[in-house]
Amino acid sequence: PVGKPELGDYRQGYTVKRNKKGTFVDIGMDKLAFCKEQLTVNKIFSFKITKFAKEVIVTPDEPDDIYWGFKTLSTNKGLKNSLKLVNPDFVVETTKYADTIDTIFDELKTKVESSNHIAIVFGGPYSSISENVESSKWETIKLNTIPNQGTETVRTEEAVISTLAIFNIL
């Protein structure tokens, strides 16, 4: 973040070291911030700036009213069973074999606006999604978010960024 931190700001922080009183956190300032909780060191957490004292005091927290980033899930339960763990009401399966975003934009926008919990599924670097993700528990749509990609496969990290950029404007 650029500029002087303000009370109530949210920041991502990296836990650097711990003592008996709490954890020192790098939130991108000149000095380390301090959290009064014993957190795991060398991990990234979300924090809220709660006090300015001798040091900046933070507490683990995430904002409720703004988008704060995506979450990933890694399991060995199979795709459909993994989706059940996150309980979506709408699942988007990304594939180059589906309708392109420009041809179903309005339909997608309507489904996104009426959904509370969306899961977006991406294939891996060596294969597309092979498991059927359809279920009576959620709506499903297949979507090509990178039409005319000009390559056999798109790297997963590129597909994630491209797809989230589209969902950001919906």
Q: What are phi and psi of 26, to 5 degrees?
A: -90, 110
Say yes or no to pLDDT of 149 above 70. Answer: yes
**The pair of three-digit structure tokens given for residue 109, joined into one six-digit string:** 């926008």
Q: Looking at residues 69-93, what average pLDDT do you find?
A: 88
Give the C-alpha distances (Å, rounded to integers) separating 78 from 35, 53, 122, 140, 163.
Answer: 38, 49, 14, 17, 23
pLDDT of the residue at 52: 93
Q: Which residue has the tokens 């060596």?
A: 126
Say yes or no to pLDDT of 91 above 80. Answer: yes
Cα separation, 69 vs 66, in Å, equals 9
pLDDT band at 5 (very low <50, low <70, confident <90, very high): confident
Grouping H, G, I as helix, E, B as strand and the rest as coil, residue 168 is: helix
Q: Are 24 and 17 in contact (CB under 8 A)?
A: yes
Residues 109-136 have pLDDT tens digits of 999 999 999 999 988 767 778 788 888 9
**The pair of three-digit structure tokens given for residue 96, joined into one six-digit string:** 């180059």
pLDDT of the residue at 154: 86
Say what percent of the chain tops pLDDT 70: 98
Q: Are 163 and 154 in contact (CB under 8 A)?
A: no
Cα separation, 140 vs 108, in Å, equals 10
pLDDT of the residue at 3: 66
Residues 52-67 have pLDDT tens digits of 988 999 999 988 877 7
Q: Of 40-49, 70-79, 140-149, which gets the smallest average pLDDT? A: 70-79
Nearest to 163 by CA among 103, 119, 128: 119
Give all domains of the chain, ordered by start, each with its CATH number: 10-60 (2.40.50.140), 79-169 (3.40.1280.10)
pLDDT band at 152 (very low <50, low <70, confident <90, very high): confident
pLDDT band at 2 (very low <50, low <70, confident <90, very high): low
pLDDT of the residue at 62: 87
pLDDT of the residue at 41: 97
Q: Looking at residues 70-92, what average pLDDT do you find?
A: 88
